[in-house]
Amino acid sequence: MRVLENKTEIKSKYLNENIYNYLDTTFEIPDTFMYDIVKITKDYIARPDLISYKAYNTDIYADVICKLNGISNPFELNEGDLLVIPTYEYLQEFIVKPNDIELEDTENTNVPISKKKNEKRKANEAVIGDKRFSIDKNNRVIIY
């Protein structure tokens, strides 16, 4: 199950299409579950998809393996690392499908922009008042 498929879709009046709510929680560690400890060999360095395939005969649980083991970058997987691999019967308890919610787009018209329009900034750097997105503080959602 892919993480993006578990995200709530929001109707954007600015784009006139549905967008994903990237702030939705899609993963949760259950209170108890059965697991195996696996040692990474050279064939599985930086390949959580192959680890998932070996454990479950499908690569779709690579995200569960990474999140459970605190791996944000698959290139962090090195030979000799030990991973907690939940048994197949418990996998669905890790995946959360949030309830669909109705959200309205909000507009921050009274918030000052902290950088001038001609001032350079990184492509991924967003600032309050940026016209590329709005923030719904009540629902903790950023709407692009």
- Domain boundaries, given as residue ranges, for the chain: 10-25+101-144, 35-93
Could you give the dihedral angle defined by the CA atoms of residues 36, 41, 45 and 50, in that order, rounded to the nearest 10 degrees? -60
Q: What does the pLDDT read at residue 120? A: 60
Q: What does the pLDDT read at residue 25? A: 72
pLDDT in tens, 66-109: 989 999 899 999 999 999 999 999 998 988 765 544 444 444 44
105-114: Cβ within 8 A, 24+ apart: 105/12, 105/13, 105/14, 105/134, 105/136, 105/143, 106/134, 106/135, 106/136, 106/143, 107/134, 108/134, 108/135
pLDDT in tens, 19-62: 777 766 778 888 899 999 999 999 999 999 999 999 999 998 99
pTM for the whole thing?
0.55
Angle CA(65)–CA(71)–CA(75) in degrees, nearest 5?
A: 105
Q: What does the pLDDT read at residue 96? A: 75
